[in-house]
Amino acid sequence: MGRKALWTVVGLAVVALAVAVARADFRRGHGWCGNGWHRGGPLGYVARELKLSDAQVSQVRSIWMEERPTVTALLKDMISGAHQLADATTGGKFDEDKLQATAAAEGNTFAKLLIEKERFISRVYTTVLNEQQRQSADRLQQRWLDRMDHAITRLEKQSR
């Protein structure tokens, strides 16, 4: 069970790296700011892509404010786990049992964070968006997944 948890955390780290590379979109020269994320952050980007009204943006912000304490607590747990992992390997130490236990806890916390993200997206999708915006959101999601697939393909080619 311990090795499985460790490999799960390693796999999640690789996925996070792939997401970061996909977001960078170096081919188009946008750099780490992505496609306009620096103008209003992720909500500003999504609001422009889905053509959200000001009232809809306010609704999304309201939903986010309700979810924020839970997300903040989970992020604190993630940072705490990262500190524990760093402490467990300081000075070349390697306590595999402690590392596996911490990695398993980190994996559980990451899973909870992903569930919260999906809960937030579902609430926005069902309570804020109209049918046309839902179709646009589905296309945006597919485009995002295609970019992640492309990033993984590039990484695979580079490692050969």
Average pLDDT over residues 53-67: 93
- Range 106-129 burial, b when 16+ CB lie within 10 A, else e: bbebbebbeebeeebeebbeeebb
Lowest mean pLDDT among 4-8, 88-92, 139-143: 4-8
Q: What is the model's pTM?
A: 0.68
When the pLDDT of each residue in the chain is averaged and rounded to a whole number, the result is: 83
**pLDDT at site 160:** 81
Domain ranges of the chain: 2-158
Please identify which residue in the block is written with the tokens 């050969």: 160
CA dihedral 56, 132, 47, 26 (to 10 degrees): 160
**DSSP symbol at 89:** T
- pLDDT confidence tier of residue 44, bands split at 50, 70 and 90: confident
Q: Is 37's pLDDT higher than 50?
A: no
Radius of gyration of the chain (CA): 19
pLDDT digits (tens, 9 = 90+) for 62-117: 999 999 999 999 999 999 998 988 888 888 888 888 889 999 999 999 999 999 99
Taking the C-alpha atoms of 63, 123, 46 and 51 in order, what is their torsion angle to the nearest 10 degrees? -100
